């Protein structure tokens, strides 16, 4: 049986719609990035994001259905990110999905955005459970064991900033604009990563938690010592390379600890999967690929367009839950916070679906 899902993503600054089937085919997807709307403010402004989602979502849905060449009758279910995220945007997407579900008489699935990232490698690479997941994005930084749909065991999280946030803040103090990740990666390619000695917080201290505050402060202090206008010259490239190398070391060490814990719990760790916007960074991917290989694990990294926020992953997570028998109530509340390891993630959700 092949099912077809329409997925909506509106939890941050990307308005996205996708049509995906349960044979892992992405029939069509459309995305509108609000970068230009937020760039002048140096970060995402929630109110502006919510209004932009509202004006863009409907045309994107129409375009996606047209691109996929499917009518509403072929759609089996409608999935939308219902949290966590900026609540104004989440409300826009979830309410649109509910309205379509009611009007078209289709099931509605409330998707946890983090679960959508966590399951992306099953859409892109058909990854089998269980696997170890490193989720690194603008808002999240976690290592977790993914044992099955709804069965997530958090090994560690960040104690301060998310990794994407550390990239963005570092780029900001260097005057590189927003978002910082791609700019830093580009400059780092021609930089000397040994020029600046930057700290690796929590290094040698076991466990799988992260901390980037000390690293961020060290970069700011290094910038303050640079000659004015240095953002264009070699020093800036060297600082980007040094920062990225520190991030790679931190991730590699934390993943090493996580692989060992995973192997103790599941017998062995065959797959390390990296997801979230920072997973688009090729230098970090290469480092983690080497690290995983040393422990007999294969790194799986979905294509960059499926790592950053997108609706194909939301449609896919909806399909996984739909096929597991889940249907959600139309009065489910959108949530700004929604941890992956809470009881309400487990299957089966109680009769009637997610509680309000």
Q: Considering the rule CB under 5 A, would residue 137 count as an interface residue with Mg ion?
A: yes
Distances (CA, A) of 344 to 28, 153, 212, 229, 319: 31, 14, 30, 51, 18
Q: 308 is in the binding site of which of Mg ion, ligand AMP, none (Cβ under 5 to 8 A by kind)? A: ligand AMP
Q: Considering the rule CB under 6 A, would residue 353 count as an interface residue with ligand AMP?
A: no
Residue placing its CB nearer to ligand AMP in the complex, 14 or 21:
14
Q: How far is the CB of 42 from ligand AMP (least distance, A)?
A: 12
Q: Considering the rule CB under 6 A, would residue 121 count as an interface residue with ligand AMP?
A: no
Q: 177 is in the binding site of which of Mg ion, ligand AMP, none (Cβ under 5 to 8 A by kind)? A: none
User: Which of 306, 262, 261, 288 is CA-nearest to residue 146?
Assistant: 262
Stretch that binds Mg ion, among 64-72, 135-143, 167-175, 328-336 (CB under 5 A): 135-143
Q: How far is the CB of 279 from ligand AMP (least distance, A)?
A: 8
Q: Cα–Cα distance between 81 and 294 in angstroms, integer?
A: 36
Q: 179 is in the binding site of which of ligand AMP, Mg ion, none (Cβ under 5 to 8 A by kind)? A: ligand AMP
Site for ligand AMP in 174-203 (CB under 6 A): 179-182, 185
Q: How far is the CB of 215 from Mg ion (least distance, A)?
A: 22
Q: How far is the CB of 130 from ligand AMP (least distance, A)?
A: 23
Stretch that binds ligand AMP, among 40-48, 151-159, 270-278, 314-322 (CB under 6 A): 270-278
User: Which of 253, 297, 301 is CA-nearest to residue 273?
Assistant: 301
Site for ligand AMP in 300-329 (CB under 6 A): 308-309
Q: Considering the rule CB under 5 A, would residue 13 count as an interface residue with Mg ion?
A: no
Q: Cα–Cα distance between 110 and 321 in angstroms, integer?
A: 9
Q: Cα–Cα distance between 150 and 118 in angstroms, integer?
A: 10
Dihedral, 157, 161, 162, 167 alpha carbons, nearest 10:
-150
* Number of residues in contact with ligand AMP under rule CB under 6 A: 19
Among 9, 76, 238, 309, binds Mg ion (CB under 5 A): 309
What order of strands is seen across the sheet that includes strand 151-157? 151-157, 141-148, 131-136, 271-275, 298-300
Q: Considering the rule CB under 5 A, would residue 82 count as an interface residue with Mg ion?
A: no
Q: Cα–Cα distance between 118 and 147 in angstroms, integer?
A: 11
Q: Cα–Cα distance between 235 and 243 in angstroms, integer?
A: 12
Among 139, 150, 191, 353, binds ligand AMP (CB under 6 A): 139
Among 278, 340, 345, 354, binds ligand AMP (CB under 6 A): 278
Residue 153's H or E segment, with its range, is strand 151-157
Q: How big is the chain, counted in residues?
A: 356
Q: Cα–Cα distance between 138 and 167 in angstroms, integer?
A: 9
Q: Considering the rule CB under 6 A, would residue 83 count as an interface residue with ligand AMP?
A: no
User: Which of 83, 283, 8 is CA-nearest to residue 167?
Assistant: 283
User: Which of 82, 108, 163, 25 is CA-nearest to residue 321?
Assistant: 108
Residue placing its CB nearer to Mg ion in the complex, 138 or 353:
138
Q: Considering the rule CB under 5 A, would residue 9 count as an interface residue with Mg ion?
A: no
Residue placing its CB nearer to ligand AMP in the complex, 75 or 274:
274
Q: Which residues bind Mg ion (CB under 5 A)?
A: 137, 309
Q: Which residues bind ligand AMP (CB under 6 A)?
A: 12, 137-139, 164, 167-168, 179-182, 185, 276-278, 280-281, 308-309
């Amino acid at each position: 049986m092949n099912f077809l899902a329409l997925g909506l993503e509106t939890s941050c600054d990307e308005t996205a719609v996708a049509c995906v089937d349960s044979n892992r085919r992405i029939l069509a997807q459309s995305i509108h990035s609000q970068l230009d709307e937020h760039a002048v403010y140096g970060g995402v402004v929630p109110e502006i994001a919510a209004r932009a989602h509202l004006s863009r979502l409907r045309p994107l849905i129409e375009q996606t259905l047209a691109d996929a060449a499917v009518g509403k009758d072929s759609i089996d279910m409608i999935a939308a990110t219902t949290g966590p995220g900026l609540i104004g945007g989440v409300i826009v997407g979830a309410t649109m999905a509910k309205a379509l579900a009611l009007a078209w008489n289709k099931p509605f699935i409330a998707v946890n955005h983090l679960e959508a990232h966590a399951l992306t490698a099953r859409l892109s690479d058909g990854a089998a459970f269980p696997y170890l997941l490193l989720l690194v994005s603008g808002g999240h930084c976690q290592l977790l064991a993914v044992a099955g749909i709804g069965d997530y065991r958090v090994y560690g999280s960040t104690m301060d900033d998310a990794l994407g946030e550390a990239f963005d803040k570092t780029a900001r103090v260097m005057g590189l604009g927003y978002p910082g990740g791609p700019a830093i990666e580009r400059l780092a390619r021609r930089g000397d990563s040994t020029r600046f000695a930057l700290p690796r917080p929590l290094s040698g201290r076991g466990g799988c938690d992260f901390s980037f505050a000390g690293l961020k402060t060290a970069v700011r202090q290094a910038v303050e010592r640079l000659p004015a206008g240095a953002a264009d010259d070699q020093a800036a490239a060297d600082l980007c390379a040094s920062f990225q190398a520190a991030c790679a070391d931190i991730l590699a060490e934390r993943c090493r600890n996580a692989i060992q814990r995973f192997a103790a719990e599941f017998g062995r760790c065959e797959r390390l999967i990296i997801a979230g916007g920072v997973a688009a960074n090729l230098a970090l991917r290469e480092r983690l690929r080497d690290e995983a290989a040393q422990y007999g694990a294969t790194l799986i990294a979905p294509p960059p367009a499926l790592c950053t926020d997108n609706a194909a992953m939301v449609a896919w997570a909806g399909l996984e839950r739909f096929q597991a028998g889940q249907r959600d109530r139309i009065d489910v509340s959108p949530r700004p916070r929604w941890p992956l390891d809470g009881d309400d993630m487990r299957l089966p959700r109680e009769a009637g679906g997610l509680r309000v």
